[in-house]
Amino acid sequence: MQAFEFYSPTKIIFGPGTESQVGTQAAAWGASRVLVVYGGKSAVKSGLLDRVVSALHASGMAYDTLGGVHPNPHLSLVRDGIQKALDFGADFLLAIGGGSVIDTAKAIADGAANPELDIWEDIWLQKVKLEKALPVGVVLTIPAAGSESSEAAVLTKDETLEKRSYRSDLQRPCFAIMNPELTFTLPPYQVSCGIVDIMMHTMDRYFNPITSNELTNEIAEGLLRTVIRNGRRAMEHPGDYQAMSELMWAGSLSHNGLTGLGGPMDFATHQLGHELSARFDAAHGATLSAMWGSWARYCLDTNPARFAQFGQQVWGLDAAGKTEQEQALAAIEATEDYFRSIGMPTCLSELLGEVQSPEVLDTLTLGCTFHGQRTIGSFRVLGHADILAIYNLANH
Q: Of 362, 339, 366, give the one whose Cα is nearest residue 351.
A: 339
Rounded to whole angstroms, the Cα distance separating 98 from 154 reads 12
Q: How far is residue 382 from each of residues 67, 117, 271, 366, measured CA to CA in Å?
A: 38, 33, 11, 13
| Cβ(336)–Cβ(346) below 8 Å | yes
Please give the residue range of the domain that contains residue 27. 11-182
Q: What Cα–Cα distance (Å) separates residue 214 from each residue in 1, 89, 221, 228, 273?
A: 7, 48, 11, 21, 29
CB-based burial label for 396 (10 Å; 0-12, 13-18, 19+) = exposed
Output the average pLDDT for the chain.
Answer: 97
In a shared domain, residues 280 and 341: yes
Contact 7, 166 (CB under 8 A): no
Long-range contact list for 124-127, CB < 8 A, 24+ apart?
Answer: 124/155, 124/164, 124/166, 125/164, 126/166
Residues 48 and 31 in one domain: yes
* Residue ending a domain, choose from 130, 165, 182: 182
pLDDT tens readout for residues 112-122: 999 999 999 99
With respect to residue 4, please indicate whether it lies within any of the assigned structural domains.
no
**Above pLDDT 90, what percent of the chain?**
98
Last residue of one domain, picked from the residues 136, 160, 182: 182
Based on the domain organization, do 23 and 122 belong to the same domain? yes
Domain count along the chain = 2
At residue 43, the pLDDT reads: 87
- The answer to whether residue 271 is domain-embedded is yes
Together in a domain, 291 and 314? yes
For the chain, how long is the longest CA-to-CA vector? 68
Task: Indicate the burial class of 234 (C-beta count within 10 angstroms; 0-12, 13-18, 19 or more).
Answer: buried
Do 138 and 191 belong together in one domain? no
DSSP state of 300: G
The answer to the question of residue 3 being in a domain is no
pLDDT grade for 59, boundaries at 50, 70 and 90: very high
Calpha distance 394→364 (Å, rounded):
12
25 shares its domain with 164:
yes
The band of 279, judged by pLDDT with boundaries at 50, 70 and 90, is very high
For residues 169 and 45, membership in a common domain is answered with: yes
**Torsion of the alpha carbons at 230, 233, 238 and 241, rounded to the nearest 10:** -50
Same structural domain for residues 277 and 390? yes
pLDDT bin (cut points 50, 70, 90) of residue 40 is confident
Strand partners, 316: none
Task: Quick: pLDDT tens for 289-340.
Answer: 999 999 999 999 999 999 999 999 999 999 999 999 999 999 999 999 999 9
Task: Give the CATH number for residue 98.
Answer: 3.40.50.1970
What would the pLDDT profile of 331-351 be if each residue is shown by its tens digit?
Answer: 999 999 999 999 999 999 999
CATH number at residue 192: 1.20.1090.10
**Which phi-psi region, left, alpha or beta, contains residue 17 (left: φ > 0; alpha: ψ -120 to 50)?**
left
Compute the average pLDDT of residues 69-85. Answer: 96
Q: Are 308 and 381 contained in the same domain?
A: yes
Report how far apart the first and last C-alpha atoms of the chain are (Å, whole number). 41
* Mean pLDDT for the stretch of residues 95-102: 97
How far is 146 from 154, CA to CA, in rounded Å? 12
Pairing state between β 175-178 and 62-66: unpaired
Measured CA to CA, the distance from residue 360 to residue 146 in angstroms comes to: 30
CA–CA separation, 338 and 311 (whole Å) = 13
Count CB atoms within 10 A of the CB of residue 58.
12
pLDDT 10s digits, 8-28: 999 999 999 999 999 999 999
Q: Give CA separation, 11 vs 49, 144, 258, in Å.
A: 21, 18, 15
CB 151 within 8 A of CB 172: yes
Query: Does 284 map to a domain?
Result: yes
Buried b (16+ CB within 10 A) or exposed e, 189-207: ebbbbbbbbbbbbbbbbbb
All residues at 6 or more sequence positions from 194 whose CB lies less than 8 Å from its CB, including other chains: 98, 142, 143, 144, 145, 186, 247, 251, 285
Q: Is residue 380 part of a domain?
A: yes
Considering the domain architecture, whether residues 176 and 232 belong to the same structural domain is answered as no
**Centroid of chain to Cα 396:** 26
Position 234 scores a pLDDT of 98
User: Does 42 map to a domain?
Assistant: yes
Residue 41's pLDDT is what?
Answer: 79
Instruction: Give the integer Cα–Cα distance in Å for 282 and 345.
Output: 11
Domain match, 286 and 256 both: yes
Tell me the mean pLDDT in the region 356-375: 97
Q: Is residue 2 part of a domain?
A: no
Residue 6 in domain: no
Of 166, 182, 198, the position where a domain reaches its end is 182
39 with 136, same domain: the answer is yes
Range name among 39-43, 140-144, 209-213, 309-313 with the lowest pLDDT average: 39-43
